[in-house]
C-alpha cells in the first residue's frame, strides 16, 4: 500500500462528524493547543465539509466551506503533510466555491501557512491578527 494514496470526498456533518472531529481535534486542539471551546462552533452544521481519507478509509485531512465563501478548519494529520493532501483539499474547496457562483473566497491563514495559500492564488490582505493565540492573516481569492 502506498502511503501517499488518498482521496477527497464530501462528508455530511450529521453522519460523519466524528471523522471530521478526529482530524481537527488532533491538529488544532492537541497539536496547536487551540482551546476546544474555540475550535467547536455552531457553523459546522451549515458548512460543506470535505474529508481526505487514506486507502483504508481513515480520516487524514479536512476543510470546510461556509455559505458566505469562507474556507476554514483546514487540517491535515502530521504524517500526511507535504504529500498533497492540503493542496487537494484546498483546490476542491475552491472549485466548490466557483460552482456556487461565489465571487471570492476568504480564509484566515496561520502566518506560517501563507505561502501555501499564495501558491493556490490567495492574496494576503490587512494586518496580522491573533486567533486562538496564533498569528493569522486574512487572505482572499477571487474566482474570476
Phi and psi (nearest 5°) for 79? -60, -25
Which residues of the chain register pLDDT less than 50?
1-2
Return d(Cα 100, Cα 15) in angstroms, integer. Answer: 23
Amino acid 1: pLDDT: 39
Helices marked H in 1-144 — which ranges? 13-24, 36-39, 85-99, 114-119
SS (H, E, C) 108-128: EEEHHHHHHHHHCCCEEEEEE
Amino acid 144: pLDDT: 72
Amino acid 3: pLDDT: 57
Domains and CATH numbers, the chain: 6-101 (3.40.630.30)
**pTM across the whole model:** 0.93
Amino acid 77: pLDDT: 97
Amino acid 122: pLDDT: 98
Amino acid at each position: 500500500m502506498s502511503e501517499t494514496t488518498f482521496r477527497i470526498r464530501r462528508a455530511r456533518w450529521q453522519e460523519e462528524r466524528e471523522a471530521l472531529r478526529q482530524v481537527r481535534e488532533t491538529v488544532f486542539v492537541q497539536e496547536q493547543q487551540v482551546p476546544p471551546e474555540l475550535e467547536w462552533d455552531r457553523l459546522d452544521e451549515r458548512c460543506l465539509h470535505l474529508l481526505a481519507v487514506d486507502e483504508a478509509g481513515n480520516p487524514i485531512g479536512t476543510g470546510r466551506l461556509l455559505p458566505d465563501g469562507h474556507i476554514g478548519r483546514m487540517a491535515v494529520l502530521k504524517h500526511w503533510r507535504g504529500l498533497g493532501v492540503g493542496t487537494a483539499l484546498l483546490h476542491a474547496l475552491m472549485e466548490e466555491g466557483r460552482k456556487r457562483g461565489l465571487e471570492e473566497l476568504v480564509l484566515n491563514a496561520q502566518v506560517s501557512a501563507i505561502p501555501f495559500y499564495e501558491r493556490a492564488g490567495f492574496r494576503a490582505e490587512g494586518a496580522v491578527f491573533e486567533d486562538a493565540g496564533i498569528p493569522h492573516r486574512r487572505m482572499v481569492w477571487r474566482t474570476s
